Structure 1
Amino acid sequence: MKLSVQKVGLLAAALLMAGCASETKKQSLYSWNSYEPTLYQYYKSDKTGPEQQIAELQKNIEQAKSTGKSVPPGLHAQMGLLYADTGHTDLAFQEFKTEKTLFPESAAYMDFLLKNKKGSMK
C-alpha cells in the first residue's frame, strides 16, 4: 500500500510539472512580427518615414496570412494613421473600418478617428 501511494504521488508531481512545461510553450494568437518595433518608430519619430512603416506593416499582414494567424489588435488602426499622415485618406478610412470589423471593441476609437480625419479633410 505504501508503495502505491508513493507511485501516485510521483505521478501527480510528474503531471504537474508537465502541465507547467506546456504552459511556457503557448503560442501567441497573433502574428506580431515587426509590428511593435514599427509602432515604436512611429511614436519615436525617428528617421523611418511613414511609407517605410506602411511597407513594414503590410509585410506583417502577409506574414500573418501565410502562417494562418491573425494580425494583432491595432495594426490596421496604425496603418490608417500612417495613410492619413501621407494624405491617403481613402486608404486610412479603409484600414480604420477593417480594424473596427476585426476588433469590435475598438469601434468607439475607430469611429472617433473616422470622424476626426473626415473633419480635417474639410
Structure 2
Amino acid sequence: MPHATPLRYLTALAGVAVLAGCAAKGPGPLYMWESFPRQQYSTLLRESASPDEQIRTLEAHAEKARGTNAALPPGFRAHLGMLYIGNGNPQRARELWQAERTAFPESAPYMDRLLKKLDGPAATTKGDNPA
C-alpha cells in the first residue's frame, strides 16, 4: 500500500473545503417579503397604520427591493394598488395592478376585473357584450 504524500493530503483537503463551501450556500429567498405579510394581515384586521403610512412603508420596501435587485412577492403590487385606490389615486393603482399582472400572469383574471371596475360601467371587454 503506497504512502500518501503531503501533496495528496493537501489536494484532498482543498477538494473537501471547496465542496463544503458550495454545499453551505443555498439559493436565497425567491422574494423580498420583509414585513409585507404582517402588514397585509394587520390591514385586513383593521389594526394597521393609516393608509398614507402603509403606502410609505410599502413604497420604501419596493425601493429597497429595486436597489438590491430582489423580486417583490405575489400580491404586493395588488395590495399597494388597493391602498392607492383608498387614497384617491386610481392612476397609481392602475400602474400597480398592470405591473402585478405582468409579474404574475396567473393574477390576470383578478387584475383584469379590478382594472375593469376602475374603468367604470362603460368599459366593456371582448365577450362582455351581450349582443
- Relative to the length of structure 2, the TM-score reads 0.68
- Higher RCO, Cα 8 Å, sep 6+: 1
Equivalent residue for 2:62? Answer: 61
Task: Report runs of 4+ in structure 1 exceeding 6 Å deviation.
Answer: none
* Pair 1:34 & 2:54 matched: no
* Pair 1:89 & 2:79 matched: no
Name the CA distance, whole Å, in 1 between partners of 2:43 and 2:99: 20
Unaligned runs of 5+ in 2: 1-18, 122-131
Equivalent residue for 1:106? Answer: 107
Residue pair 1:80, 1:95 contacting (<8 A) in 2 also: yes
- Cα displacement (A) at 1:42: 1.3
Equivalent residue for 1:14? Answer: none
* Aligned AA (1:73): P
- Cα displacement (A) at 1:26: 4.5
**1:63-82 alignment runs, 5 A limit:** 63-82=64-83
| Number of aligned residue pairs | 102
Deviations 1:6-57 (A, max 9, x none): xxxxxxxxxxxx9xxx59x552110111211221121011251111111111
Question: Taking every aligned residue pair, what percent have the same amino acid on both sides?
Answer: 35
Residue pair 1:34, 1:57 contacting (<8 A) in 2 also: no
Unaligned runs of 5+ in 1: 1-17
- Flag the structure with larger Rg: 2
> Please, what is the CA RMSD of the aligned residues?
2.3
Greater helix share, 1 or 2?
A: 1
